[in-house]
Amino acid sequence: MSTAGAFETARKEGRSALVGYLPAGFPDVEGSIEALRVMVDAGCDVIEVGLPYSDPVMDGPTIQAAAQRALEQGTRTTDVLRVVEAVASTGAPTVVMTYWNPVVRYGVDRFARDLADAGGAGLITPDLVPDEADEWVNAADADGLDKIFLVAPSSTDARLKRTVDACRGFVYATAVMGVTGARASTSDLAGPLVARTRAVTDLPVCVGLGVSDGAQAADVASYADGVIVGSAFVRRLLDAEDLRSGIASLAELTRDLAEGVRRA
């Protein structure tokens, strides 16, 4: 299922989509598969599978800690693709969130082909701008993958237009300046950024960075097409005494967030 299908379904239901993130290989490969499947069952419409990277400059301490644990256990790009395949088999659109360097090391065309073969819907590339993305754009187009680039409150009008024109699937709007992490309140920069983005594209606009509970999800869902949650999910697993309790906590949080996007 494409991400477009998930957003269309949510739109017909009069709500925003819930997009959930976890790194592959955290707490281990099989554990991440189980956790992500539980998130789908509990209400996530789209799944982001993180590719653990050794230099996560845009990630806050929570996601960095999870990625480091995944790397210490030897998680590789092939494991990430295995997680994608397992999660995509549920029917939930599944995209990979990755820094660009691991894709280059793996081989851009090979990565696109293997991601498509695994049932992946596309790729989010936080440190790749469209001006420097010709190789990825060509590979993604060849395999029918979504190309998801980021816009930020600091994006100029010209940069924002170039970015959304290069996107397919949805646009990722970073709601706050700085690294990722759950926050006590959502940013007042998010609404204006979504409005600016919608003025130049018909693609769904999803807001990420900072949402940690259903109330915040409802707030963001009142103006965005999708609510992206990452650090809050990761924190539930990091704080858990064991995988069983972590999975239960993840399910509880997902239900709260899913109710939030519907309440909005």
Is 201 within the bounds of a domain?
Answer: yes
Other beta carbons within 10 angstroms of residue 216's beta carbon come to 21
Structural domains counted in the chain: 1
Query: What residues are annotated to the active site?
Result: 48, 59
> What pLDDT, on the 0 to 100 scale, is given for residue 182?
45
Position 41 in a domain: yes
Q: What pLDDT is recorded for position 2?
A: 81
Q: Are 167 and 201 in contact (CB under 8 A)?
A: yes
Q: What is the pLDDT of residue 158?
A: 96
Per-residue confidence (pLDDT) for residue 102, from 0 to 100: 96
Tell me what pLDDT residue 55 has.
Answer: 72
pTM above 0.75, yes or no: yes
In a domain, 261, yes or no: no
Question: 237 by DSSP, 3-state: which?
Answer: helix
Domain of residue 136 covers: 3-256
- CATH number of the domain that 239 lies in? 3.20.20.70
| Residue 116 domain flag | yes
Instruction: Give the Cβ contact number of residue 91 at 10 Å.
Output: 12
Q: What is the pLDDT of residue 57?
A: 63
* Residue 262 located in a structural domain: no
CA distances from 56 to 70, 97, 105, 145 (A): 13, 12, 16, 24
187 φ, ψ (degrees, to nearest 5): -75, 140
pLDDT at residue 185, rounded to an integer: 44
Q: Which residues of the chain have pLDDT under 70?
A: 1, 56-59, 176-187
Distances (CA, A) of 89 to 18, 92, 140: 18, 7, 21
Whether the CB-CB separation of 47 and 92 falls below 8 Å is answered with: yes
pLDDT given for residue 61 in this prediction: 83
The 3-state DSSP composition of the chain as helix, strand, coil percent (nearest 5) reads: 50, 15, 35
> pLDDT value at position 264?
77
Residue 105 lies in a domain: yes
How far apart are alpha carbons 151 and 163 in whole angstroms? 7
